[in-house]
């Protein structure tokens, strides 16, 4: 899939030992540390007197499969809009994901489910592993075409690790809510990738800009990616939230937010067009911003009206980003954001984090009822008031931006 001779050599000489080394290390670490949890272990599950329907599998597996489709089909095909990188994007998307989901099982397991020296896994850890993989793929979108598969694997090794650190700080230490990952996935993945893209900047690549163009069939393949991401985003945001009304409400909010971001994207894209043609890159990307922007607040009581407003604004901001900010990023800041992840994941992710802080700050016992202990346990238990929860949410965004930027900066020379 690689084109240049140096790539070709790297592929044959460096990729195989690296893959074998990584896989061997993961297998050894699994043998020492990873065990079935009480819902996947035959002996542990049958020790208690459950109904089989109580198994978390039935609450989360359908949503997990939708997320899985987004990671492998959605991200993979979305990136084929660049005719030149069609194969590479699908193939490397596949390789990076297959590695990242294994490696993040270990990293996230050490941080979140390490008991008595063992990591216990089930469908919830599979969802989290796929989520972390999503962040890696966002970064991949920022550097597509500028890195070899070997560099991408090393990037994944670093990013998955830092993702786990950042997520641990936010969710466990700061008590921040971020079920759909506006911060931990989208903001983190985008700024990690953008800083890395800046570090990897080579001026001569600038000249090949015209080769970035898309063509007819590439656009149809990319639409496969776009639409699978769009339809399954309600499952993405709701997969890890509280069962019952939590998953239900999150899916509903995301559904309407995406509807509104699609309309505002079409409208603005048509308005800004010179030749009276819709720009397919806007449609393929900015229409998805509605899913990103409710990543933090989707499980909260933002109201259907709030979900529509959030999506509407996200579509506007994302489309403006593609039209006006992206050229500036490249010319002034030397950041070549191949897939425009700043517009789809970066800005809407930050906006989603701010929205989450706002909605958290407005939380009351009256609005949430007894569900407050599910959505904001620290408020329900009296450890915090809503305002301080909002401040923690903002601090979580700050930590994410710092760690992502540091990570991308370190990742460059490696």
* Residues in region 259-298 near a copy of itself by CB under 8 A: 259-260, 262-264, 266-268, 270-271, 273, 275-278, 280, 283, 287
* Nearest C-alpha neighbor of 378 from the set 179, 241, 174: 174
Which one-letter DSSP state was computed for residue 413?
A: T
Contact predicate 136/100, CB 8 Å: yes
Does the footprint of a copy of itself cover residue 326 (CB under 8 A)?
no
Binding-residue total with a copy of itself (CB under 8 A) = 129
Residue keyed to tokens 């979140």: 112
Candidates 172, 303, 331, 387; binder of a copy of itself (CB under 8 A) is 303
Does the footprint of a copy of itself cover residue 117 (CB under 8 A)?
no
Kindly tell me which of 40 and 405 has the beta carbon lying closer to a copy of itself. 40
Give the CA count within 13 Å in the CB-facing half-sphere of 124: 19
Does the footprint of a copy of itself cover residue 370 (CB under 8 A)?
yes
CB of 409 to a copy of itself, least distance (A): 28
Does the footprint of a copy of itself cover residue 209 (CB under 8 A)?
no
Does the footprint of a copy of itself cover residue 215 (CB under 8 A)?
no
Pairing relationship of beta strands 34-36 and 118-121 according to DSSP bridges: parallel
Candidates 65, 161, 388, 405; binder of a copy of itself (CB under 8 A) is 65
CB of 362 to a copy of itself, least distance (A): 13
CB of 334 to a copy of itself, least distance (A): 30
Does the footprint of a copy of itself cover residue 110 (CB under 8 A)?
no
Name the H helices within 48-122. Answer: 56-69, 75-78, 86-112
Cα dihedral 36, 41, 47, 50 in deg (nearest 10):
100
> Which is it for the CA torsion 220, 214, 3, 151, positive or negative?
negative
Q: Which stretch binds a copy of itself (CB under 8 A): 136-144, 330-338, 360-368, 381-389?
A: 360-368
* 27: phi then psi, degrees, rounded to nearest 5: -60, -45
Kindly tell me which of 41 and 330 has the beta carbon lying closer to a copy of itself. 41
Binding residues for a copy of itself restricted to 373-392, rule: CB under 8 A? 374-375
Sheet with 118-121, strands from edge to edge, namely 34-36, 118-121, 114-115
Binding residues for a copy of itself restricted to 30-59, rule: CB under 8 A? 30-31, 34-36, 39-47, 50, 52-59
Q: Rounded distance, CA 50 to CA 63, Å? A: 22
């Amino acid at each position: 899939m690689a084109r240049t001779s140096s790539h070709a050599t790297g592929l044959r000489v460096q990729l195989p030992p690296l893959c074998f080394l990584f896989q061997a290390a993961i297998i050894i670490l699994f043998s020492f540390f990873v065990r079935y949890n009480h819902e996947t272990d035959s002996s542990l599950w049958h020790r208690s007197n459950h109904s089989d329907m109580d198994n978390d599998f039935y609450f989360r597996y359908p949503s997990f499969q939708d997320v899985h489709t987004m990671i492998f089909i959605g991200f993979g095909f979305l990136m084929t809009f660049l005719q030149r990188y069609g194969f590479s994007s699908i193939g490397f998307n596949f390789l990076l994901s297959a590695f990242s989901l294994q490696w993040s099982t270990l990293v996230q397991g050490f941080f979140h489910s390490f008991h008595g020296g063992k990591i216990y896994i089930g469908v919830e850890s599979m969802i989290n592993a796929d989520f972390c993989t999503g962040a890696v793929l966002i970064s991949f979108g920022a550097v597509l075409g500028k890195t070899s598969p070997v560099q991408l694997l090393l990037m994944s090794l670093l990013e998955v690790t830092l993702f786990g650190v950042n997520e641990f700080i936010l969710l466990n230490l700061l008590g921040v809510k971020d079920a759909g990952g506006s911060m931990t996935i989208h903001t983190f993945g985008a700024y990690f990738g953008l800083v890395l893209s800046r570090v990897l900047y080579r001026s001569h690549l600038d000249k090949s800009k015209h080769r970035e163009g898309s063509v007819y069939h590439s656009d149809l393949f990319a639409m496969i990616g776009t639409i699978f991401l769009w339809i399954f985003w309600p499952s993405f945001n709701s997969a890890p939230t509280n069962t019952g009304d939590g998953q239900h409400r999150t899916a509903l909010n995301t559904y309407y937010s995406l509807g509104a971001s699609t309309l505002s994207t079409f409208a603005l894209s048509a308005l800004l067009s010179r030749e009276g043609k819709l720009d397919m890159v806007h449609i393929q990307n900015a229409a998805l911003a509605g899913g990103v922007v409710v990543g933090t607040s989707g499980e909260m009581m933002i109201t259907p009206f709030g979900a529509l407003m959030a999506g509407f604004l996200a579509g506007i901001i994302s489309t403006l980003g593609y039209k006006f900010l992206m050229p500036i990023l490249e010319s002034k800041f030397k950041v070549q954001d191949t897939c425009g992840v700043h517009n789809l994941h970066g800005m809407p992710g930050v906006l989603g984090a701010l929205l989450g802080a706002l909605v958290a700050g407005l939380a009351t016992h009256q609005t949430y009822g007894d569900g407050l202990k599910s959505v904001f346990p620290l408020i329900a238990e009296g450890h915090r008031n809503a305002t301080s929860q909002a401040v923690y949410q903002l601090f979580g965004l700050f930590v994410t931006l710092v760690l992502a930027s540091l990570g991308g900066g370190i990742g460059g020379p490696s």
